[in-house]
Amino acid sequence: MDIGAKFCNTYKVYINHTDAGGIVYHANHLVFFEHCRRDWLTSLGYDGYFFDLINDDTEPTTNGYNKAVHFVVSHADLAYHSPLFVDDVLSVCIDDIVIRPASLILHQSIYRAGQPKAATTAKITLACVQNDGQKIRPYRLPTSFVNRLNSQANHD
């Protein structure tokens, strides 16, 4: 299922994000995408990383105590269109979300302030997994989470 959920947040580039020339190190683009995903999940009422499941997944809580079910990045495809610099103010967005039974595919972008074209674009696949301490296995997205995403899409 394809939904047009949108979320954007702003972040500032600090010197620790950059190389000696003041250009954001390529791996730190992933850091900004991660911050945006966490803030998006938090805005939906989740702790940002973990689902605490009670009553066989019908009532996830978000207190972060039972951290057995969570997302992991299983694939990342980035395109760097223009550099990001120290002291830039960035708008990092989730442009589109594809819901799969046990994963999400997010299309994300980073914009420099005042720039109409994305500096970086990404297609990130998040796998929902259960970690029992012994093995990490795929886990179906919680029904209430999928319902919340669909509800958000219906309000856009």
Helix (H, G, I), strand (E, B) or coil at 135: coil
Q: Region 34-56: what's the mean pLDDT?
A: 79
Percent above pLDDT 70 for the chain: 83
SS3 146: helix
Which pLDDT tens digit goes with each residue over 75-105? 999 999 999 999 999 999 999 999 999 999 9
Residue with tokens 């994300």: 108
pLDDT per residue over 12-25, tens digit each?
999 999 999 999 99
The owner of tokens 């939904």 is 3
**What tens digit of pLDDT does each residue of 103-120 get?**
999 999 999 999 999 999
Q: Which residues of 71-97 are buried (b: 16+ CB within 10 A; e: fewer)?
A: beeeeeebeeeeebebebebbbbbbbb
> What is the pTM for the complete model shown?
0.86
